[in-house]
């Protein structure tokens, strides 16, 4: 941010340019950063309470012995969680789970592919799972865009996310059945 402020100095009353960080702070909408700060605090609290370890044990216990079914399981769980939370907290939650699954007998590339697909594609199921969707809603409300609301974004984004998750399952099927 400091680099941005020094590259883009503000013109003062006397015509001279000087860096003015306070001007840019007045232009920032702090609702979205606070939303993500709360998500990270939530994940930290889940870790401190031990819920991440419980979730890890649960996922490892119910994971199927078939690699393809396990990949679909990981893809769907990370997609659903990524819809409710942002991608980064879900990634922090699932890294120990993926490590535990890889430590067992399963091959790591298909599991990592399923994990990455679930994290990236699932964030679009619900608007709060994507920073871009949250910002789109905020700007559409600010500038009174007709027809753009939470329900519309949920319907369109959810359908695209579902389509992409189904395509991800097809991709995993091709990868696993051809190479594993």
Predicted local distance difference test score (pLDDT) of residue 176: 93
Report the pLDDT value the prediction gives residue 46, as an integer from 0 to 100. Answer: 83
Percentage with pLDDT > 90 across the chain: 21
State residue 171's pLDDT score: 95
pLDDT of 19: 84
Q: What's the pTM?
A: 0.73
Helices (H), the chain: 2-7, 21-27, 31-49, 51-62, 67-84, 87-103, 108-122, 131-142, 150-179
Mean pLDDT of 130-141: 83
């Amino acid at each position: 941010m400091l680099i941005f402020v020094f590259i883009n100095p503000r013109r003062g009353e006397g015509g001279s340019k000087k860096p003015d960080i306070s001007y840019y702070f007045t232009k920032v909408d702090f609702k979205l950063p606070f939303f993500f700060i709360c998500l990270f605090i939530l994940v930290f609290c889940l870790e401190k309470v031990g819920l991440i370890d419980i979730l890890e044990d649960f996922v490892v216990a119910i994971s199927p012995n078939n690699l393809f079914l396990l990949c679909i399981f990981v893809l769907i769980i990370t997609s659903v969680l990524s819809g409710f939370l942002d991608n980064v907290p879900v990634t922090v939650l699932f890294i120990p789970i993926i490590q535990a699954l890889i430590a067992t007998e399963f091959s790591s590339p298909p599991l990592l592919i399923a994990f990455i697909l679930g994290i990236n594609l699932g964030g679009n199921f619900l608007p709060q799972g994507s920073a871009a969707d949250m910002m789109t809603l905020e700007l559409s409300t600010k500038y009174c865009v007709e027809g753009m609301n939470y329900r519309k974004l949920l319907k369109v984004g959810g359908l695209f996310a579902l389509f992409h998750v189904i395509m991800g399952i097809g991709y995993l099927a091709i990868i696993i059945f051809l190479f594993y």
